[in-house]
């Protein structure tokens, strides 16, 4: 594997600290609600697995898989869905889980699509945000950390489908 040559931005301990803080806030805010957590595949699978275990509530989980085509390190304007949620979210409180928000196109597409199913509320949790890259404005309700415009791998984030398994988040240099 040998991916540890890449410099670390956030260590595993730092990530777990962020995840704990987000989980505590989500637990407070969603108490008494009908929470459904929707993970965006594939990148969010590790963040979602850890975050779910820091949310001390009863809830359901579901997944969507979205593609945005374009250059390898950048999403294009076109977002497509290849796996939709299978849960009825009408009148439910939906929390979307993204590992990183870049241009905002993926989240914007997903939020519009989910809103059409008439949830009672719709919020977003993202581990990382690259605000300087934003093309479409999106509101992130629960954020781990804002980062500068550098390509990152690890903790679910990939480059060409590799490095998702790294426990830390690294700069791909």
**Dihedral in degrees, nearest 10, Cα atoms 34, 35, 41, 46:** -150
Residue 62, classed as helix, strand or coil, is strand
Interaction between residue 104 and ligand IMP (CB under 6 A): yes
> By rule CB under 5 A, what count of residues binds Mg ion?
1
| Single residue of 15, 19, 96, 101 touching ligand IMP by CB under 6 A | 101
Task: Round to whole Å and give the CA distance between 31 and 37.
Answer: 14
Task: Round to whole Å and give the CA distance between 88 and 75.
Answer: 29
**Binding span for ligand IMP by CB under 6 A among 52-60, 80-88, 93-101, 113-121:** 93-101
Residue 124: name the closest of 106, 113, 139 by CA. Answer: 139
Interaction between residue 151 and ligand IMP (CB under 6 A): yes
Which residues, in sequence order, are bridge partners of residue 79?
A: 68
Interaction between residue 144 and ligand IMP (CB under 6 A): no
Active-site residue, selected from the candidate residues 24, 50, 88, 102? 102
Residue 87, binding choice from Mg ion, ligand IMP, none, Cβ under 5 to 8 Å by partner class:
none
Residue 93: name the closest of 25, 31, 24 by CA. Answer: 31
CB of 145 to ligand IMP, least distance (A): 13
Q: Which residues bind ligand IMP (CB under 6 A)?
A: 43, 68, 75, 98-106, 151-153, 157-158
């Amino acid at each position: 594997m040998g991916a540890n040559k890449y410099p670390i931005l956030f260590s595993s301990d730092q990530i777990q600290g962020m995840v704990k803080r987000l989980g505590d806030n989500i637990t407070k805010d969603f108490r008494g609600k009908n929470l459904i957590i929707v993970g965006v595949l594939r990148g969010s699978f590790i963040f979602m697995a850890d975050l779910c275990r820091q949310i001390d509530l009863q809830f359901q989980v579901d997944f969507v898989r979205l593609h945005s085509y374009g250059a390898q390190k950048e999403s294009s304007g076109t977002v497509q869905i290849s796996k939709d949620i299978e849960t009825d979210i009408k009148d439910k409180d939906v929390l979307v889980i993204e590992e990183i928000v870049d241009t905002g196109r993926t989240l914007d597409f997903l939020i519009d699509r989910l809103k059409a199913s008439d949830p009672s509320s719709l919020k977003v949790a993202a581990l990382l945000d690259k605000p300087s890259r934003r093309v479409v404005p999106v509101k992130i309700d629960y954020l781990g950390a804002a980062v500068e415009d550098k390509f990152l791998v690890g903790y679910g984030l990939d480059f060409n489908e590799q490095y998702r398994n790294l426990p830390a988040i690294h700069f791909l240099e």
